[in-house]
Amino acid sequence: MKTFRIGGIHPEENKLSAGQRIKTITLPERVVIPLAHYSGRPSNAVVKRGDQVKVGQLIGKADGYVSANVHSSVSGKVAKVDVQLDASGYKRPAVFIDVEGDEWLETIDLTPDIERKCHFSKEEILTKIQSAGIVGLGGATFPAHVKLSPPPGKKAEVLIINAVECEPYLTCDHQLMMEKGEEILVGVTILMKVLEVKKAVIGIENNKKDAVEHLSKIAQSYPGISVEPLKVRYPQGGEKQLIDAILKRQVPSGKIPIEVGAVVMNVATTFAVYEAVQKEKPLIERVMTISGKDVKKPGNYLVRLGVYLSEVVKQTGGVPKGTGKIIGGGPMMGRSLMNLDVPMAKGSAGIVFVNEKEALRKKDKNCIRCAKCVTVCPMGLEPYLLMNQSEREMWIEMERNRVMDCIECGSCSYTCPSNRPLLDYIRYGKSTVGLRIRKRQTEKV
């Protein structure tokens, strides 16, 4: 079975919510819809206090090309446009809406029928994806239309669908594949049309055998699309790792996947593309996993954007006793939340509760130079050395040792027998080196 060629770890999978059918979270009285995403510029509000909005109505217009539209996830009255503390820990602009009923825009097709035929041209599809505000739902939330428009001179050969879901606990993509398999395949054909490629590969880790089987069966009637089961290995969901696993091609340092002829799309994003193109439905909701060892009923939930996570947790059994840490996202790359009063955003794939005992880091000790961090690094870096140089602020050496290649997967910190905070220091060094590089480039211009 295929997998990527350098490094990697196999953390306890803990897919506690696997196989749980997607349930819908009922609407609260108020939602707070973020206008900013992790990547790209925040969108600008196009509604003001007192405006009546419907589900699917544009409320934030993209600011430039690398930005994404934001739509109302509810119907009701705009209470205010203000800042809101979000999952990233920063206060950022958001639209506060008081919910009244559940009235959708008339243009949105709410029937459950699957629209298999796509009648639109490449340009029309791109416009629809862009106006629907679709961003990468795997976590990076990069605007999808940018990814789907390769720079001049570059041509995609193959589309890779990222259905790896290598983070422990998370099962939202898995369950989506089980329930919306056909829609996802239609989404893949739409993306293939946009990219003008004949071949698409859906990469799924082999701990989701049912999804591999299910999608393989459907894929038989979709020429050019194949399903590739992958050996379970973290961080296979990393774009570069996934391309290496499937195509045996390594994206050069500092370059994007198109360099080796590949475009990678997350599976949930693919589903959102289907809905946007075939159903005229903008991105206003997504599936997320609620999980953790002490959670009574781990599950997968369809949540509208802007619903406070506290509301989602209230409806799904509350915060378990003895919780020491709440993670927005998965335990390897997610963020620990300061509280649950943050809104659901496009990139929120899950909430994981960690008990106090597991949440506390152990005391770090001397580096014993066991080299295990070097062995597991999927980018072939030397985490021990980068940490050392970061502690001493040796920025030039860090750049030379390719700190900018670090994908921040956390395999080094996870593995270190001395519990050293490798990634903390590397991240600090990486952001400083990144600033220095940008400064150098502006000076050159």
Binding site for other proteins (CB under 8 A): 6, 9, 11-12, 168, 240, 244, 250-253, 319, 323-327, 331-339, 352, 354, 356, 358-362, 365-372, 374-375, 377-382, 384-385, 401-402, 405, 408, 410, 413-419, 423-424, 427
Residue placing its CB nearer to other proteins in the complex, 55 or 381: 381
CB 63, min distance to other proteins, A: 29
Residue placing its CB nearer to other proteins in the complex, 38 or 414: 414
Measured CA to CA, the distance from residue 109 to residue 101 in angstroms comes to 18
Residue placing its CB nearer to other proteins in the complex, 138 or 410: 410
Tokens linked to 22: 């997607």
Q: Write the single-letter amino acid at 193.
A: K
Helix intervals (H) in 286-367: 309-315, 356-359
CB 413, min distance to other proteins, A: 5
Residue placing its CB nearer to other proteins in the complex, 108 or 404: 404
Residue placing its CB nearer to other proteins in the complex, 149 or 418: 418
CB 334, min distance to other proteins, A: 6
- Block residue for tokens 């350098």: 6
CB 99, min distance to other proteins, A: 27
Say whether 204 sits in a helix, a strand or coil.
strand
Residue placing its CB nearer to other proteins in the complex, 223 or 417: 417
Asked whether the beta carbons of 200 and 161 are under 8 A apart, the reply is yes
In the DSSP assignment, the letter for residue 221 is T
- Chain centre to alpha carbon of residue 250: 21
Measured CA to CA, the distance from residue 199 to residue 179 in angstroms comes to 24
Q: Ramachandran region of residue 86, left (φ > 0), alpha (ψ -120 to 50) or beta?
A: beta
Residue placing its CB nearer to other proteins in the complex, 9 or 312: 9
CB 69, min distance to other proteins, A: 29
Asked whether the beta carbons of 246 and 228 are under 8 A apart, the reply is yes
Report the 3 state secondary structure along 41-69: ECCEECCCCCCEECECCEEEECCCCCECC
CB 350, min distance to other proteins, A: 12
CB 297, min distance to other proteins, A: 18
In the DSSP assignment, the letter for residue 208 is -
